């Protein structure tokens, strides 16, 4: 474990422990001030003077959201926030010291929160003008202090998950956090998964370090070994993300963020989706609040069962970093004007958000092509009309999914284009040729199937 990971872990544990005190604060005004103060101190400790980037991002976005026409504020906020995010990562070219890696994490989640807030404001105004009654996107009444409290709140300030401003408001004003069972919910996240994932992470980090792919010794290994190496490195990558996201969820649970009654059928990132009138009514009846079941689906970031066991790329991605997936779907995919290119646009924005390293674009850029090929083979292997045994089709699709993800994730982990090309040269860019073959062969089989069905 490197030093940055250690610092990351320390602040996660601190935030979990602090949540036991934070959730006991009943005064809303005091609670949001203390939450913002603690978040500010965390940012200052890891960022020092680089906190200026955070302050600039919040202040400019606050001015955009409050004073720009609400019909366009979300577009202006998006352009500014992502432009500043790119500048933030290129400061060395302007003779400005490069920010610490943890400040980069803060800037990433802050970008989603502030752009997401602008979209919330735009949606609320749009619904009001069209007289739509959507309780999940009401007109927000904001001032600059509200935006600072939301931006600096310690929950998720360093690690995420993404949660809407409406979720932030309701964690202050709704009484649900007084009646749930946070310790039970937190223990279900921690045990046995964190010890298992940590053990696998440390083992793979020690036995199959990704830096080994750049050594002279690695070149002497057989082709099969060099290609197989993407499997343990991707396993290490997944374990690291699983640990961080699960602990981030525990921070939310202990702080009372994103807790709602089960009957609301909350979705990651979005919050409650059903029975919203009943949600208002139950807040007035303490006897009902005591017997109601609660969940934290609103801040649920990772479903590792789905990530590991769903047989397709599309399903796997939907279960990965789900609150960020929600933001991408809501703010980019659904709003992009050209349906033909919205998947590419969403993946491009995802790449920009993750960083300026070429490896992010190479990795994320592979996904749309993988989805095109996958859709063909879903029709072949997961369709009854092809008479492929269901279990066999599932196993083949699962293998292909993990193979593709592992190959793409290596570029994400190596980051630098020189290192990426060095590795891909060592395996002769096998996945590119394999994907082309699968596309052509899959199209042939599908055409034969359709011809058979027409003549049947």
3-state SS, residue 295? strand
d(CA 334, CA 120): 14
The candidate with the shortest Cα–Cα distance to 186, out of 105, 283, 277, 294, is 294
d(CA 291, CA 279): 14
The H or E element that residue 108 is part of is helix 101-129
Q: CA torsion sign, 346 to 298 to 164 to 89?
A: negative
CA 397 remoteness from chain centre: 24
Contacts (Cβ under 8 Å, ≥6 apart) of 173: 28
Contacts (Cβ under 8 Å, ≥6 apart) of 59: none
CA 137 remoteness from chain centre: 22
> 61, 153, 236, 321: which is the annotated catalytic residue?
321
> 354, 357, 422, 425: which is the annotated catalytic residue?
354
Contacts (Cβ under 8 Å, ≥6 apart) of 132: none
Could you tell me if 74 and 112 are in contact, meaning their C-beta atoms sit under 8 angstroms apart?
no
d(CA 150, CA 277): 25
d(CA 218, CA 423): 10
Q: Long-range contacts of range 206-214, CB-CB < 8 Å, 24 or more positions apart?
A: 207/232, 208/232, 208/233, 208/236, 210/236, 210/410, 210/413, 210/414, 213/410, 213/414, 213/419, 213/422, 213/423, 213/426, 214/419, 214/422, 214/423
Helices 193-207 and 182-190: angle between axes, nearest 10 degrees: 30
Active site residue 53: no
Contacts (Cβ under 8 Å, ≥6 apart) of 49: none
Active site residue 354: yes
Helices (H), 26-68: 28-47, 51-67
Find the angle CA(43)-CA(50)-CA(152) to the nearest 5 degrees: 30
State the burial class of residue 178 (Cβ atoms within 10 Å of its Cβ: 0-12, 13-18, 19+). Answer: middle
Query: Could you give the residue numbers annotated as active site?
Result: 321, 354
């Amino acid at each position: 474990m490197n030093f940055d990971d250690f610092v990351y872990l320390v602040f996660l544990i601190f935030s979990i422990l602090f949540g036991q005190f934070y959730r006991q604060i009943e005064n809303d005004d005091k609670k949001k001030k203390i939450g913002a103060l603690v978040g500010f101190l965390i940012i200052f400790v890891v960022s020092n003077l680089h906190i200026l980037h955070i302050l600039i991002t919040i202040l400019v976005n606050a001015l955009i959201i409050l004073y720009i026409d609400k019909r366009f504020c979300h577009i202006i906020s998006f352009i500014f926030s992502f432009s500043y995010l790119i500048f933030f990562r290129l400061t060395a070219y302007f003779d400005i010291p490069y920010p610490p890696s943890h400040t980069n994490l803060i800037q990433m989640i802050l970008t989603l929160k502030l752009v997401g807030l602008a979209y919330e404001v735009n949606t609320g105004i749009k619904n009001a003008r069209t007289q739509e009654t959507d309780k999940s996107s009401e007109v927000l009444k904001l001032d600059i202090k509200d935006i600072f409290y939301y931006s600096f709140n310690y929950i998720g300030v360093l690690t995420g998950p993404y949660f809407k401003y409406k979720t932030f408001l309701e964690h202050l004003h709704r009484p649900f956090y007084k009646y749930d069972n946070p310790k039970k919910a937190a223990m279900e996240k921690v045990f046995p998964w964190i010890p298992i994932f940590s053990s696998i992470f440390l083992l793979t980090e020690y036995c199959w370090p990704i830096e080994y792919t750049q050594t002279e010794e690695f070149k002497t290994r057989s082709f099969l070994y060099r290609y197989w190496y993407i499997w343990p490195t991707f396993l290490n990558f997944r374990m690291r993300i699983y640990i961080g996201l699960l602990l981030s969820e525990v921070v939310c649970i202990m702080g009372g963020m994103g807790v709602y009654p089960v009957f609301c059928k909350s979705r990651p990132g979005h919050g409650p989706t059903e029975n919203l009138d009943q949600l208002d009514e139950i807040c007035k009846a303490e006897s009902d609040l005591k017997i109601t079941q609660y969940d934290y689906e609103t801040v649920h970031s990772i479903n590792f069962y789905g990530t590991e066991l769903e047989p397709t790329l599309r399903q796997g991605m939907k279960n990965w970093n789900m609150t960020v997936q929600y933001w991408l779907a809501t703010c980019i995919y659904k709003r992009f004007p050209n349906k033909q290119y919205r998947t590419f646009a969403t993946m491009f924005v995802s790449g920009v958000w993750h960083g300026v390293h070429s490896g992010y674009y190479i990795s994320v850029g592979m996904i749309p092509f993988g989805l095109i090929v996958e859709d063909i083979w879903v029709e072949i292997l997961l369709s009854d009309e092809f008479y492929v045994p269901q279990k066999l089709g599932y196993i083949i699709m699962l293998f292909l999914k993990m193979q593709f993800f592992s190959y793409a994730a290596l570029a994400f982990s190596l980051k630098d284009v020189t290192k990426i090309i060095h590795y891909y040269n060592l395996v002769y860019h096998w996945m590119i040729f394999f994907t082309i073959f699968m596309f052509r062969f899959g199209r042939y089989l599908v055409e034969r199937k359709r011809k058979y069905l027409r003549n049947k």
